[in-house]
Structure 1
Amino acid sequence: MKEEKILEALEAFVKPIVEKCINQALSKEPASALKDPEQFITLQTAEKEFGCKDYMLRKAINNNELSYYQPGRRLFVKRGEVAAWIQSIKVIAKDQPQDYSFLNK
């Protein structure tokens, strides 16, 4: 009897937690949608996904380095274009050989 009451109490405690976790997992977007390079995302989403700041994205937009879409008040960018822009601002490592022959002239 005592064991049954403990099991019932444990089930009553654990069941809502498990249901909540399952519902949260099912309500999220599928992983394939998150990796779609043609998907429009907000600047805030790009900031979270790519680790860059809002002002960097806005500066790239103002310098015509990044295309944007503005159907209303919010700015949208394509996920693939943000990834391409980040790759385009790559800084060359110091240990890679560079051509400084123009300095010797």
Structure 2
Amino acid sequence: MKKVCEKRDVFVAIADPTRRQLIRLLAEADELPLHELTDQFQMGRTAVSKHLTILKEADLVTNRKSGRETRYRLNPAPLQEVKDWLSYYEQFWNERVSLLKNILED
């Protein structure tokens, strides 16, 4: 019986600093094998694989087998949800800074 995976929330996936670093590494490269990703962290291959699984469950990462190695690639599309959410707060703070600037000028 195949295990059905529930889609993970993108905000949960990016909450961890290790996963954010994995996203950054994958954004800077077209595709990276697991061993190259693991070399960037002070943790074992299994721990890095678990973080990549969480990113895959949020559709932030895809993978493919190439011989004996697994290669990973960033799928940035789900990050649009984060960008959209943050844009509201960017507008909020821009308005507050503008208001503060006007108060200080008066």
Q: TM-score, normalised by structure 1?
A: 0.32
Query: Of the two structures, which has the highest relative contact order with CA contacts closer than 8 Å and spacing of 6 or more?
Result: 2
Q: TM-score, normalised by structure 2?
A: 0.32
The structure number with the bigger radius of gyration is 1
